[in-house]
């Protein structure tokens, strides 16, 4: 194909688009919108930004505003009351118990999750027959809607008809009933276990991605260098997947910290607030109790902790990039 | 002290179909540098990994130092392996990388340190011990991988394309050092490569592999001069051996032996061909001539390589009388490609 150089008269160059002035190589082919990154980038970002502004930024600012007001469901007019809501929260022993419970709930759940998810991830990457079926089954708890799965657990842990109790009775380990959700300590154990059951698949899949990313030759080298299972685990696999494990744990922590479904469906925070966590307490005060201002103030206590977790995640991700 | 590695009737099939290694018998000498050479996918790496114990053979035996090691994990085989990517532990320092195998052997701290320093000194990386692998150059990483292999006092070194990640210039010096290094320590070494220059330069013997089988084993000169079949003939040598059909045979000759008739001594014992030159290339003093010779009714592409000492002028698109001395001719079966007995080809 002969390329014909266009003659450009002096002074007219500015009027022609650049691709034509450049010699007509693509004469007739005009750049479309898809070629213009300066337009595309904001265009693609817009939906996400709009979504975040509408569903995160505005509610967050509203919550801050509400926490300094006396807004209730019955009287939504905004009146400034300063720190009154916070003062009341601090005087409320249930708040302090919820805060403590939230930490116990999160820390214990995450400790269990990390250990179980790591073990599960190692099973998932192993090569065996039917591993796809196992992977699918393992993911099920995470894909089942929270409320649905928790209601099933509610039946499983029922005070009178619990199948778990029935089985324990059958094998002779139990006389009567456990009352899983009826005793303060056991209620917390139940909530933690159900939540862990839900989060472990997600964490396992994240950790699995990290395990798969370890080059085969590194694993081979460890085998050649004479490392057995435990040495390889502690000196090669764990250090190399630590950033991914950290991401899984922190993501899980955020999900645990902000979660109220499991608590709300299983115990409603009871018995006697033994399983009350910040989100459920905020919900009960703000929505059930109609005191929006109080609810907002309680919920805001989640913010600094979530911020810290987010920063920690970003740092872990950075470390992954460096490795 | 050097140990012999022996492979008997070794087969390795993947998924029952892919015959990566398809019946290999091979024995190294004591302290020998044996190179497994072949194109990618020929099974050479699988063979090496089977010797290392990273793969279990489908059939056959691997013997190290006279005893069968089938079923033994790699750590029980007293072998050391250097991987193509070096496979250094990215989160460990150079020192920790080198001492890792010693830690697995439960060697004391002091002894580990001494051993690592000895190996690092030998390879000239003593000043890098505190660095992490990502702060090292390709050549330095390769040395760390070698040091890590060395500290274990292995009876066999297995090297899987250890030079292929280096740039061309570094590769030449690294090849040289690797050879000297092996001569110093005298450990039996099996070296996998697809690069014939490395194979020719490093190997005491070369085993040429193709499609899961060993086609020829021998010293580099022998493999080059007397290829066992047309695969070896055309795989080794750059440019490769010319093959010209003649009756039921293929006649092979090396480009450097295909010269203007006037330069080839002897009258009755040379094979002359009218060589139509298409293109002339000047490469490091030599001239590479690309052209065709008649073979039956067709024309076959051949290459001639004139050394700087041959000054005969050659122009493209001209036909010249070229010849090969009889002693440089090799004969192969046209169908099977196997080497056959020579037949006189007087001109």
Say whether residue B72 is in contact with chain A using an 8 A CB cutoff. Answer: no
Q: Report the C-alpha gap between B80 and B182 in whole angstroms.
A: 13
Q: What integer pLDDT is reported at residue B179 of this predicted model? A: 86
Nearest-Cα distance to chain B for A260, in Å, is 39
Q: Which pLDDT score is estimated for B290? A: 94
Contacts of A236 in chain B (CB under 8 A): 89
Residue of A nearest to B75 (CA): A226
Kindly give, in sequence order, each residue whose CB lies less than 8 Å from that of residue B255, ignoring residues fewer than 6 positions away: B237, B239, B241, B242, B288, B302, B303, B304, B305
| pLDDT reported for residue B281 | 92
B78 touches chain A (CB under 8 A): no
Residue B155 has phi, psi (to 5 degrees) of: -85, -20
Chain A residue closest to B96 (CA)?
A235
CA neighbor of B274 nearest in space, from B300, B253, B249, B307? B300
- Say whether residue B89 is in contact with chain A using an 8 A CB cutoff: yes
Q: Do B104 and A231 touch (CB under 8 A)?
A: yes
Chain A residues with CB under 8 Å of a chain B CB are 215, 217-218, 220-228, 231, 235-236, 239-240, 322-323
Q: Does B104 touch chain A (CB under 8 A)?
A: yes
Of B80, B87, B100, the CB nearest to A215: B87
Instruction: List pLDDT tens digits, range B210-269.
Output: 998 999 999 999 999 999 999 999 999 888 999 998 888 899 999 999 999 888 877 778
Q: Considering only alpha carbons, which residue of chain B is nearest residue A319? A: B91
What is the DSSP track for B61-94? EEEETTEE-TT--GGGTTEEEE-TT----TTS-H
Distances (CA, A) of A137 to A143, B283, B310: 10, 63, 75
B148 touches chain A (CB under 8 A): yes
pLDDT of residue A25: 56
Question: Beta B259-260 vs B242-246: how paired, if at all?
Answer: unpaired
pLDDT at B38: 92
Instruction: Report CB contact under 8 Å: A217, B134.
Output: no
| Most confident stretch, A25-34, A47-56, A149-158 | A47-56
Instruction: Spell out which residues of chain B touch residue A322, defining contact as CB-CB under 8 Å.
Output: 134
Q: What is the pLDDT of residue A169?
A: 81
Asked whether the beta carbons of residue A235 and residue B73 sit closer than 8 angstroms, the reply is no
A240 and B75: CB-CB below 8 Å?
A: no
- Contacts of B154 by beta carbon, 8 Å cutoff, 6+ apart: B78, B79, B80, B187
- Tell me whether B202 touches chain A (CB under 8 Å): no
Evaluate if residue B201 carries a pLDDT over 70: yes
Query: Which chain B positions have a beta carbon within 8 Å of A239's beta carbon?
Result: 91
Of A51-60, A304-313, B210-219, B228-237, the range with the lowest mean pLDDT is A304-313
Q: What is the dihedral of CA A282, A288, A291, A293, to 10 degrees?
A: 30
Residue listed under structure tokens 């992954």: A320
pLDDT value for A131: 82
So what's the pLDDT on residue A114?
Answer: 92
| CA gap A177, A191 in Å, rounded | 18
**Sign of torsion over alpha carbons B99, B105, B109, B110:** negative
Whole-number pLDDT of residue A12: 45
What is the token pair recorded at B83? 């991987």
Contact B100 A215 (CB under 8 A): no
% of chain A surpassing 70 pLDDT: 90
What is the model's pTM?
A: 0.76
With CA atoms as reference, the chain A residue closest to B150 would be A225
pLDDT of residue B192: 94
* Alpha helix ranges (H) inside chain B: 44-52, 94-104, 109-123, 138-150, 168-185, 196-202, 220-225, 230-235
> Do B54 and A323 lie within an 8 Å CB cutoff?
no
Give the pairing type, strands B79-82 and B156-160: parallel
CB pairs below 8 Å between A and B: how many?
65
Question: Among A113, A102, A162, which Cα is nearest to A142's?
Answer: A113
Pairwise CB contact (< 8 Å): A225 & B101: yes
Q: Which helix (H) or strand (E) holds B304?
A: strand B298-306
Give the distance from residue A127's alpha carbon to the nearest chain B alpha carbon, in angstroms.
13
CB contact B346 to A (< 8 Å)? no
- Chain A residues closer than 8 Å to B84 by CB: 217
* Interface mutation vs chain B, best among A221, A230, A234, A242, most B CBs within 10 Å: A221
CB within 8 Å: B152 and A226: yes
Out of A226, A228, A239, name the one closest to residue B101 (CB).
A226
Contacts of B52 in chain A (CB under 8 A): 220, 224
pLDDT of residue B324: 92
Residues B291, B280: contact at Cβ < 8 Å?
Answer: no
306-345 of B, contacting A, C-beta below 8 A: none
Optimal mutation site among A210, A226, A239, A245, interface B, most CBs of chain B within 10 A: A226
Q: Which residue has the tokens 């190692």?
A: A122
Cβ–Cβ gap A220/B54 under 8 Å: yes
* CB proximity B135 to A under 8 Å: no
Mean pLDDT of A25-51: 81
Mutate: best of A218, A225, A244, partner B, most B CBs <10 A: A225
**Nearest chain B Cα to A240, which residue?**
B91
Cross-chain CB nearest to A221 (options B83, B105, B152): B83
Which pLDDT score is estimated for A5? 45
- Assigned token pair, B279: 């293109």
pLDDT-derived band at B18, boundaries 50, 70, 90: confident
CA atoms of A57 and B179, how far apart (whole Å): 66
Question: Is pLDDT of A177 > 80?
Answer: no
């Amino acid at each position: 194909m002969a390329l014909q150089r266009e003659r450009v008269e002096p002074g007219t160059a500015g009027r022609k688009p650049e691709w034509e002035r450049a010699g007509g190589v693509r004469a007739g082919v005009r750049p479309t919108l898809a070629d213009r990154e300066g337009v595309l980038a904001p265009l693609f970002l817009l939906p996400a930004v709009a979504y975040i502004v509408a569903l995160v930024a505005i509610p967050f600012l509203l919550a801050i505003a509400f926490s300094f007001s006396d807004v209730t469901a019955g009287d939504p007019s905004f009146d400034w009351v300063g720190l009154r809501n916070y003062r009341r929260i601090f005087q409320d022993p249930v708040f302090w118990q919820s805060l403590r419970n939230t930490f116990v709930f999160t820390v214990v759940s995450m400790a269990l999750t990390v250990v179980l998810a790591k073990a599960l991830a190692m099973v998932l990457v192993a090569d065996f027959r039917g591993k796809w079926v196992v992977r699918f089954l393992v993911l099920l708890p995470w894909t089942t809607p929270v409320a649905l799965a928790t209601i099933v657990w509610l039946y499983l842990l029922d005070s009178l008809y619990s199948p778990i109790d029935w089985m324990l009775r059958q094998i002779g380990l139990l006389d009567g009933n456990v009352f899983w959700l009826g005793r303060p300590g056991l209620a917390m154990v139940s909530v933690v276990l159900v939540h862990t059951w839900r989060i472990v698949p997600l964490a396992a899949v994240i950790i699995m991605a990290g395990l798969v990313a370890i080059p085969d030759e590194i694993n081979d080298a460890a085998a050649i260098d004479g490392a057995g299972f435990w040495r390889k685990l502690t000196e090669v696999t764990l250090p190399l997947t630590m950033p991914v494990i950290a991401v899984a744990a922190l993501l899980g922590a955020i999900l645990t910290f902000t979660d109220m479904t499991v608590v709300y469906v299983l115990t409603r925070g009871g018995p006697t607030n033994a399983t009350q966590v910040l989100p459920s307490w905020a919900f009960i005060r703000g929505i059930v109790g109609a005191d929006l201002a109080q609810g907002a103030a309680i919920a805001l206590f989640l913010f600094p902790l979530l911020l810290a977790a987010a920063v920690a995640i970003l740092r872990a991700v950075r470390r992954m990039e460096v490795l | 002290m050097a140990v012999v590695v022996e492979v008997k009737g070794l087969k390795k099939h993947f998924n029952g179909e892919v015959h990566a290694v398809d019946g290999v018998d091979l024995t190294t000498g004591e302290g020998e540098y044996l190179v497994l050479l072949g194109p990618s996918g020929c099974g050479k790496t699988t063979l090496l990994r089977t010797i290392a114990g990273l793969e279990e053979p489908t059939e056959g035996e691997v013997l190290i130092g006279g005893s069968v090691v089938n079923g033994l994990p790699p750590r029980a085989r007293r072998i050391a392996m250097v991987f193509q990517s070096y496979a250094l532990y990215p989160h460990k320092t150079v020192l920790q990388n080198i001492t890792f195998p010693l830690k697995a052997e439960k060697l004391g701290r002091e002894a580990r340190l001494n051993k690592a320093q000895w190996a690092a000194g030998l390879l000239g990386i003593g000043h890098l011990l505190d660095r992490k692998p990502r702060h090292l150059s390709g050549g330095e990483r390769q040395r760390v991988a070698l040091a890590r292999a060395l500290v274990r006092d292995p009876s066999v070194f297995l090297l899987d394309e250890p030079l292929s990640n280096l740039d061309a210039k570094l590769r030449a010096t690294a090849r040289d050092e690797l050879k000297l290094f092996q001569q110093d320590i005298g450990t039996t070494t099996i070296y996998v490569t697809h690069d014939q220059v490395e194979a020719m330069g490093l190997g005491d013997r070369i085993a040429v592999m193709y499609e899961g089988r060993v086609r020829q084993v021998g010293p580099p000169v022998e493999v080059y001069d007397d290829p066992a079949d047309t695969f070896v003939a055309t795989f080794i040598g750059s440019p490769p051996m010319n093959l010209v059909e003649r009756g039921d045979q293929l006649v092979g000759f090396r480009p450097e032996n295909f010269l203007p008739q006037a330069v080839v001594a002897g009258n009755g014992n040379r094979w002359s061909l009218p060589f139509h030159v298409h293109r002339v290339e000047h490469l490091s003093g030599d001239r590479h001539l690309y052209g065709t010779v008649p073979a039956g009714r067709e024309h076959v592409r051949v290459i001639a390589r004139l050394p700087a000492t041959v000054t005969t002028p050659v122009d493209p698109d001209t036909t010249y009388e070229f010849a090969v001395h009889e002693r440089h001719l090799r004969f192969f079966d046209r169908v099977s490609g196997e080497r056959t007995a020579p037949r006189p080809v007087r001109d």
